[in-house]
Amino acid sequence: MDEISAKVPTPSPRLAGLPGYGRGRAGAAQIFAHRLGSNEAPDAPDRAVRQAVAAAFDGANRYPDLRGETLGAALALRHGLKADQVAVAAGSIVLLDQLMRAYCDGGDEIVTAWRSYEAYPILAGLAGARLVEVPLNSEHCLDAAAMRTAVGSRTRAVLICNPNNPTGTALAPEALDGLLDALPADLLILLDEAYCDFDGSAEAVRAAPARRLARHPNLVILRTFSKAWGLAGLRAGYAMAAPEIIAAIHAVAPPFPLPGVALAAVLAAIELPEAVAARVDRNAAERARLTSGIAALGLPVAQSAANFVWLPVGPRAEALNAHLAGVGIAARCFAREGVRITTGTAADTDAVLDALARFRPND
Ligand SMILES: *Cc1c(COP(=O)(O)O)cnc(C)c1O
């Protein structure tokens, strides 16, 4: 008998050399008292959301909506859009992946500010595209003029994360509108607003998409239920765009994008805007305490509009992250750049400030 050949097929070269998606914990085996590495909400889901999930689970023998259309219609209504202007998926990261695959071909470029969300280079690489990284300005904020200048003949899309992860910095609404106006109308513009609920009034957060989409048919706005809506574990996000763009998302998306329990949870959650308002208020209070406390300790901290703070400590990033991990605080480290710390409960803030006060750069 011949020996069975041990040769395992190799995947596409597109996969070679892609960065990995890191965990929001310093070491997977460690148990952290303060889980501040993934920008999650610190509180458990509301009662009404739990009840909706339990009821939906009773029907788990049936397939859910083919396209998540019940949720899509509810979100369209909430934002004053038509149902065919909304697509849902198991997280906005999935929608980004689908959009890049739907619109990019090998050699296309996607312009984005950098440092930004660590998933972007992975998703761009998987789509065969090249991410063109435009440095943030000295305030750790997106440089609109430089973004415009970076657009070239190979540019297919511009990706804007606002507020930006991991720096927390945000463009003012007028500055964002100015950038959208300045970008060529034939480019796909991907506006990732994962953290927008923490920045601006609830009414502005609800109304802005219809206004911007009416002016920019090439715009896609991405939102998530993972952050201010407190449902990261259920995986739900949505895209708002022209019907043609939504159709392209559907063309690359497998059917049944969200499980029935996730659809039910989000449908219940959007009936509870006061729960989001409470999270946003708590976040603003703890973010202010963190920011002023960190500055008072003489450590650098960027002006955040999100549910985390960015400490651009450069070469001290790994030491700072290890120091935090040593006292049970999980943060997110970007080697030689900085450390991102999620805003949690008041007790989380106390623990972070206490730990930072005891950080010695040469630890
Ligand atoms: C957390 C986050 C997302 C949301 O991802 P989901 O897949 O919806 O959980 C998207 N973009 C940015 C910049 C994020 O930080």
For residue range 303-333, what is the model confidence (pLDDT) as tens digits? 999 999 999 999 999 999 999 999 999 999 9
- Ligand 1 centroid to 182 CA: how many Å? 26
Q: Identify whether the C-beta of residue 155 lies closer than 8 Å to the C-beta of residue 187.
A: yes
Q: Which pLDDT value is given to residue 16?
A: 85
**DSSP-assigned beta bridge partners for residue 183:** none
At 309, list the tokens. Answer: 């703070």
For residue range 35-91, what is the model confidence (pLDDT) as tens digits? 999 999 999 999 999 999 999 999 999 999 999 999 999 999 999 999 999 999 999
Query: CATH 3.90.1150.10 in the chain, residues?
Result: 13-45+274-357
Q: Does pLDDT of 27 surpass 70? A: no
Query: CATH 3.40.640.10 in the chain, residues?
Result: 47-269
Q: Which pLDDT value is given to residue 183?
A: 98
Angle among Cα 81, 99, 309 to the nearest 5 degrees reads 85
| Full 3-state SS string of 97-120 | HHHHHHHCCCCCEEEEEECCCCHH
Q: Which pLDDT value is given to residue 361?
A: 72
Q: Which pLDDT value is given to residue 25?
A: 54
Q: Does pLDDT of 168 surpass 90? A: yes
Return the H-helix or E-strand segment holding 246: helix 243-252
Confidence of residue 362 (pLDDT cuts 50, 70, 90): low
- Ligand 1 centroid to 120 CA: how many Å? 10
Spell 222-252 as b/e; 16+ CB within 10 A means b: bbbbbbbbbbbebbbbbbbbbeebbebbbee
Pick from 14-28, 72-86, 129-143, 222-236: least confident: 14-28
Confidence of residue 143 (pLDDT cuts 50, 70, 90): very high
In whole angstroms, what is the distance from residue 23 CA to residue 1 CA?
Answer: 46
Residue with CA at minimum distance from ligand 1 atom 6: 91
Q: Check if 112 has its Cβ closer than 6 Å to any atom of ligand 1.
A: no
The amino acid that residue 118 corresponds to is E
234 three-state secondary structure: helix
Over the chain, what is the mean pLDDT? 95
Q: Check if 40 has its Cβ closer than 6 Å to any atom of ligand 1.
A: no
- Domain 13-45+274-357 homologous superfamily, CATH: Aspartate Aminotransferase, domain 1 (3.90.1150.10)
Q: Which pLDDT value is given to residue 14?
A: 85
Q: Which of 347, 272, 352 is nearest to 311 (CA)?
A: 352
Return the H-helix or E-strand segment holding 188: strand 188-192
For residues 277, 278, 279 and 281, what is the CA-based torsion angle, rounded to 10 degrees? 80
Q: Does pLDDT of 1 surpass 80? A: no
Q: Which pLDDT value is given to residue 97?
A: 98
Q: Check if 42 has its Cβ closer than 6 Å to any atom of ligand 1.
A: no
Could you tell me which CATH number the domain at 47-269 has? 3.40.640.10
For residue range 241-273, what is the model confidence (pLDDT) as tens digits? 999 999 999 999 999 999 999 999 999 999 999
Phi, psi of 294 (to 5 degrees): -65, -45
Q: Which of 67, 62, 150 is nearest to 114 (CA)?
A: 150
Q: Check if 165 has its Cβ closer than 6 Å to any atom of ligand 1.
A: yes
